[in-house]
Amino acid sequence: MKVIPAIDVKDGKCVQLVGGKPGTEKVMIDDVMGVAKRWQSEGAELIHIIDLDSALETGNNETLIEMIAASLSIPVQVGGGIRDQEKVQRLFDIGCERVIIGTRAIQDKPFVRKMAEEYPDGIVVAVDSVANEVLIKGWQEGSGKDMLTVVKDLDALPIFGFLYTNVEVEGQLKGIDPIPIQALANSTKKPLIVSGGITTMGDLDILQRMGVHSAVVGMAIYTGMIDFRRAVGEFR
């Protein structure tokens, strides 16, 4: 299992929010490029970047993301507000390894099928959920769709896999809830990437034993709850 550092970008800064809510910043770092290079130097094999401004439709950080992708020797996967083909194309053109689609994938299966067919194994579908309901539009609205139903419906598409974020525990440093994760792992043959609530090495061990492909760690590595270099060394 790979341990992947998260870089959430808002207003050109690296931030960590609680439950994805603007105004709850627990971490705010001006030098986003420096953060990316730090995680690379500490052993990251891939960087997970979310453009919060784009997800919340308050702007975008594409120029910064392009600079990061060009400056690193490791790949990046990018998400946040990716809701049309032109943006998907731009992100691949600037060197992104994988593109994460949430809202549009949940609302428009023909769109995500087309993107998956054009970029095989390059698309990740985000199922960001509260009480098993998938959220959309930067976690601001419910979709009315159950996450297991969504995963089973899209599993046959040539996507790379699914990104599951448990919004109920995101950024709280209280640990993961393994029950929905195990249910998702049992529902897909694709790689499952998990984020939300990962707080300790014990959480990472649980995820590895459940067969999770990758664990995206944010708040815990920024606050020192998890030593990123050690985690990368122990989980591969």
Q: What's the count of helices (H) and strands (E) in the chain, helices before strands? A: 11, 12
Query: How far apart are alpha carbons 78 and 100 in whole angstroms?
Result: 6
Catalytic residue among 8, 51, 53, 203: 8
Residue 8 falls in the annotated catalytic set:
yes
Query: How far apart are alpha carbons 223 and 209 in whole angstroms?
Result: 25
8 A C-beta contact, residue 164 and residue 129: yes
Nearby residues of 41 by Cβ (< 8 Å), 6 or more positions away: none
Structure tokens that stand for 170 in this block: 């995101």
Query: How far apart are alpha carbons 131 and 70 in whole angstroms?
Result: 38
Catalytic residue among 93, 128, 146, 205: 128
Residue 128 falls in the annotated catalytic set:
yes
Q: Is the dihedral of CA 50, 68, 215, 190 positive or negative?
A: positive
Kindly list the catalytic residues. Answer: 8, 128
